[in-house]
A = this chain, B = another copy of it.
Amino acid sequence: MKDKTFLMIPGPTPVPESVLLAMAKHPIGHRSSEFSCVLEETYENLKWAFQTKNDVFIYTSSGTGAMEAALSNLLNPGDKVLSLIIGNFGQRWAKIAASRGAVVDTIEVEPGCAINPDELEARLAADVNKEIKVVTLTHNETSTGVTNDVKTLVKLINKHGAVSVVDGVTSIGAMECKMDEWGIDVLISGSQKGFMIPPGLAFLAASEKAFKLHEKCENPSFYFNWSAYKKSVKDNSTPYTPAVNLIVALDEALKMMKKEGLEEIFARHKRHAKALRAAIRAMGLKLFVEDDSVASCAITAILPPEGISVPDIRKVLKKDYDIVVANGQNQLKDKIFRMGTLGYVCDRDLIAAVGSLEAALKKLGHKFRPGAGMAALIEELTA
């Protein structure tokens, strides 16, 4: 049905109507006092979402832009970087570091697993001359639906003395991520995820320690330059023309988030993912991440039942139920499908999604008792 599409992908995520309408207003001048007021409030609320006293910069870019913004302000050619890789987005950190001429070492695990803190500890202990300047990691790996124990990993990185650079694209606004308390040096995120607005903005906060390394960076990016952004934040401004309408939308969305409360948002994501996982199991499907302790609250990756293909499941869900779920990426393409419970998602959305998945699986000939998934979902949602 036209205009009925519901996105259950890991971004873009559903956008509240009030946010869409705020975005649809005529753009205002980006150097006007009205826009300064919007920025002042937005910068303040971003600090709240990042749980930090550091300034949070707003880049007009995708999340990948913010990843480049992180490393292009820290690295000189020849610098040693350790990249902790649990999926595509962890891999992307390594690629960007290499594109800056860094010497990149990695700890890489099988897709579906998280980084083992002991392995990181051993690797850092072996770096006796403290050559590793930067360690990159992913909080929530969107490609597999695995969440790293950032708190523990960052503690080890801080003990070593390296700068930690964390991808919080699909974690901030969805799961606990305490930048200051955990001692994260550089934290990035994106707009079309937990922040409930369309894609086009990315965010970055950097600690004092990170800024000290930045000072040694000889050719930082001009567009993403931290020093220019830091100066602009002080003036409630941006160095270059930002995506004004998206920032007006963000202002609205952040106010909604504050009204709900961070703890409540995290609890909702946790409850939804837990309920979805129970429903998936009850339908006789397998979860790609069996281990509940590392399973993401934002994205659940699911294996198709034998004899039924991922493209068929996606096609029926889209065509007959107007629900979009994501395929796997790269080597996981057609091996898994991914359902997002990220951002502006309510219980009813989840009920509709699980019911539709049951209907789709029945059509495709999966042998199970329709309603079993719904029963498990409702059990968890009403617990």
The chain A residues found within 8 Å of chain B, CB to CB, are 3, 5, 7, 9, 11-12, 14-15, 20-21, 23-32, 60-65, 67-68, 72, 77, 95-96, 99-101, 190, 192, 198-200, 219-223, 225, 239-246, 324, 326-327
Checking B32, B65, B192, B239 against A27 with a beta-carbon cut-off of 8 angstroms, the contacting residue is B192
B26 near A243: Cβ-Cβ < 8 Å = no
Q: Apart from A27-B198, A199-B242, list 11 A-B contacts with CB within 8 A.
A: A5-B26, A20-B24, A27-B199, A32-B324, A61-B223, A62-B223, A65-B65, A99-B220, A101-B219, A200-B200, A243-B246
Give Cα A182 to B30, complex, Å.
33
A241 near B3: Cβ-Cβ < 8 Å = no
A203: min CB distance to chain B, Å:
14
A221 near B99: Cβ-Cβ < 8 Å = yes
> Given the known A-B contacts A223-B64, A324-B32, are A7 and B23 also in contact in the complex, defined by CB atoms under 8 Å?
no
A240 near B64: Cβ-Cβ < 8 Å = yes
A61 near B60: Cβ-Cβ < 8 Å = yes
- Chain B residues near A243 (CB-CB < 8 A): 62, 198-200, 243, 246
A198: min CB distance to chain B, Å:
4
The residue on B at minimum CB distance from A92 is B222
- Chain B residues near A65 (CB-CB < 8 A): 60-61, 65, 223, 240
Give Cα A107 to B101, complex, Å.
32
- Chain B residues near A28 (CB-CB < 8 A): 5, 7, 12
Checking B30, B63, B199, B240 against A30 with a beta-carbon cut-off of 8 angstroms, the contacting residue is B199
A6: min CB distance to chain B, Å:
9
Give Cα A32 to B7, complex, Å.
11
- Chain B residues near A64 (CB-CB < 8 A): 222-223, 239-241
B96 near A222: Cβ-Cβ < 8 Å = yes
The residue on B at minimum CB distance from A32 is B324
Give Cα A20 to B220, complex, Å.
36
Give Cα A241 to B28, complex, Å.
25
B27 near A15: Cβ-Cβ < 8 Å = yes
Count chain B CB atoms within 10 A of each CB in A190, A240, A241 and give the residue with the most.
A241
Checking B14, B220, B240, B244 against A198 with a beta-carbon cut-off of 8 angstroms, the contacting residue is B244
Checking B20, B31, B63, B223 against A241 with a beta-carbon cut-off of 8 angstroms, the contacting residue is B63
> Given the known A-B contacts A64-B240, A199-B243, are A219 and B100 also in contact in the complex, defined by CB atoms under 8 Å?
yes
Checking B7, B26, B62, B239 against A240 with a beta-carbon cut-off of 8 angstroms, the contacting residue is B62
